[in-house]
A and B are shown apart, each in its own frame.
Chain A
Amino acid sequence: MLQTKALQYSYDGRNQLHFPDIDCKKGEHWLLLGQSGSGKTTLLHLLGGLLSPQEGVVNIDGTNIASLKGSALDRFRGQRVGIIFQKAHFVKSLTVEENMLLAQQLAGAPPSKPRIRALLERLNVGHKYRSKPDRLSAGEQQRVAIARALVNQPAIILADEPTSALDDVNCNEVIHLLEEQATAVAATLLVVTHDSRLKAAFHNQIHLQSLQGNPL
């Protein structure tokens, strides 16, 4: 489902980041652990097609994403990849529900309010659908962000430090929900983090080597 081969990336042309090959099967949940500066975010951006690799290949569901150009890549990403970021961001002028509708529309999916309501309900933020995102607590925001990443039933869910801004209670709840919802849509889940609280929750783990002396 999600495979990489000999991925390399460099921001300045001198300090090369080498990434271990990844092979995640459909429906598997993976934890990618690494310290700050190990290139976690860069890897996540490569996997999500937000960055183009300088060396190596990223395959998602059998498609080499380097072969997609411009808006085809944007659309592919919108449909097949759900991304959750460390800090949840939204279109500020839209309500929670409108943000979800926008996610459907940008991916080219038909708008479905019932599906959105059901998703928000499952993530315990159903009553907030008419609120503006910045009125929500950090935990609520992250749950809405998860709902948004799931709304188009993506093949792959990438999460970048989804719990680092949360306390223990919210952390457990969010990671539990993330796993539960990924299972519900049969998506491959890859969580990138340095948060050791999550180690116990995942069987499949990849450790990124720190690049000593070459912090990013």
Chain B
Amino acid sequence: MSLFQLSWKNLTNKPLSLALNLILFALGTGLISLLLLLSSQLQEKFDKNLAGIDLVIGAKGSPLQLILCSMYHVDTPTGNISIKEAKPFMRPGHPLIKAAVPLSMGDNYKNYRIVGTTHDILALYNAEIQEGKKWEKIWETTIGAAVANDLGLKIGDRFQSSHGFASDVDMAHEGDFTVVGILKPSGAVVDQLILTNTQTIWAVHEHAAEASADSTAHEAHTDDSKPLIEYEDKDITSLLIQFKSRNYMTLNMGRSINENTDMQAAMPAFEINRLYANMGVGVDALQALAFAIILVSGLSIFISLFSSLKERRYELALMRVMGASRSRLFFLIILEGLLLAVLGCIIGLLLSHGGMAILSGLMKDAYRYAFSGWVFLKEEWILLAGALAIGVLAAVIPAIMAGKTDISETLAEG
């Protein structure tokens, strides 16, 4: 009958009080751990998808919306820009621009976005071909690893897109896409995309516009033989820009686009930091709530130990009679506090990681990233250490009282 076993039996002898203490503690630590997991994974995913993009050029509107849509693929586009206007930034050999990747959006296949773009996007996200090849001709697609995995698409499969960003059979476009390649998993947003060339997107929508009047084959309308910048009358959604180096000229470029054109330029780093700042308020409030719960649970441990001392006075005196020293009684009570706190903390961590694993399924659609429930952060060790400290702190006064039990007086009352 070790001290550890004895304190455990003392706790389990009062199952309701044990449950209350554990639930309270688990709630507080679980909430904190969940917040840590969420914000760290969200931040990691956001940072990963910054992908060295310095500027996003698109239609006027909310800059954050433009960034979220073009880089994270979670919002709708602000509108379209014409190739004529975007042309100066797309031309090869621009003195400041290292890479300019055009994006055209507006369609999806089973909730996965179809993006018309050039092969430069692969370099941007360090994406590599796992199987098959890059898209070349119109209607050819190369799909991200998550798309292939989730929808079970293989090379040579054909599918039809539907309009908008949510799957809807009634909005199906005519025209068959063909899968010609699958990308390696990269952890970045390309995992979740269906990539094709820009001309395909145009073809889909021209075909849709003329479908009622004329039912000729779609291949006739769009040819994909010319470089993009020569289709001056066509539109794209946005342009991802990577500079050769950042300096005052690149800074001015963004400003001058905003002032002198019908387009807007948004800086991802700036917008994302603003987003973090806005999210931060909510996270801070939740965190304060979680700390309050932990404080209350510490208090609850204190109260239950304190009140249990009253009914266990005789028991403790008896243990002294049987040979227990003062320090042994002290450590018995400390151990009870510690056990409660550590168990509560572990249950909380299990809850938060389990919850995260469940949430990750739900959040995949909303944020287009897979979250993981089974990643452990070093902050969680700090949480565990904090739990230990609270357990000791809550138990220390009852423990001192237990150590001071006056044997003779207590037994004489018995």
Please list the residues of chain A having a beta carbon within 8 angstroms of any beta carbon in chain B: 41-42, 45, 48, 50-51, 70-71, 74-75, 77-79, 83, 85-87, 89-94, 98, 101-103, 105-108, 111, 148
Contact = CB atoms under 8 A, between A and B. Distances in A.
A191 to B, nearest CB: 17
B327 interface: yes
Contacts of B126: none
Interface stretch (B214-222, B316-324, B345-353): B316-324
B62 interface: no
B414 A89 contact: yes
B254 to A, nearest CB: 70
Contact of B326 (A71, A75, A91): A71
B1 interface: yes
A79 B323 contact: yes
Nearest to B311: A92
B322 A106 contact: yes
B324 A98 contact: no
12 contacts: A71-B325, A71-B326, A71-B328, A74-B324, A79-B323, A86-B414, A91-B10, A91-B319, A93-B10, A94-B6, A102-B6, A102-B319
Among B319, B323, B327, B414, the most chain A Cβ lie within 10 Å of the Cβ of B323
Interface in B297-342: 312, 314-315, 318-328
Interface string B384-414: 0000000000000000000000011001101
Contacts of B314: 89
The 4 closest A-B pairs by CB, nearest first: A78-B323, A93-B13, A71-B325, A106-B323
Contacts of B326: 70-71, 74
A47 to B, nearest CB: 12
A101 B315 CA distance: 15
A77 B323 contact: yes
Contacts of A93: 6, 9-10, 12-13
A91 B3 CA distance: 13
Interface residues of B, number: 26
A211 to B, nearest CB: 16
Contact of B1 (A41, A71, A89, A101): A101
B273 interface: no
Contacts of B315: 89-92
B2 to A, nearest CB: 7
Contacts of B12: 93
Contacts of A79: 323
A87 B323 contact: no
A102 B1 contact: yes
B408 A105 contact: no
Contact of A85 (B1, B6, B13, B411): B411
A182 to B, nearest CB: 18
A85 B413 CA distance: 11
Contacts of B322: 77-78, 102-103, 106-107, 148
A50 B1 contact: no
A116 B10 CA distance: 22
Nearest to A72: B325
A199 to B, nearest CB: 25
Contact of B325 (A50, A51, A74, A101): A74
Contact of A45 (B1, B318, B327, B411): B411
Contacts of B412: 41, 45
Nearest to A83: B321
B411 A50 contact: yes
Nearest to B325: A71
Contacts of B408: 42, 45, 50-51
A50 B407 contact: yes
B156 to A, nearest CB: 69
A162 B9 CA distance: 28
Interface in B236-262: none
Nearest to A81: B321
A102 B324 CA distance: 10
Contacts of B9: 93-94, 98
Contact of B318 (A71, A74, A91): A91
Among B2, B10, B412, the most chain A Cβ lie within 10 Å of the Cβ of B412
A132 B12 CA distance: 14
A94 B7 CA distance: 10
Contacts of A94: 1, 6, 9
A37 to B, nearest CB: 12
B6 A91 contact: yes
A52 B191 CA distance: 79
B63 to A, nearest CB: 64
A75 B325 contact: yes
A70 B411 contact: no
Contacts of B328: 71, 106
Contacts of A108: 323
Nearest to B412: A41
Contacts of B13: 92-93
B208 to A, nearest CB: 75
A89 B318 contact: yes
Contacts of A92: 13, 312, 315
A91 B320 CA distance: 12
Contacts of A105: 1-2
Contacts of A45: 407-408, 411-412
Contacts of B323: 74-75, 77-79, 103, 106-108
A129 B95 CA distance: 90
B325 A70 contact: yes
A83 B328 CA distance: 20
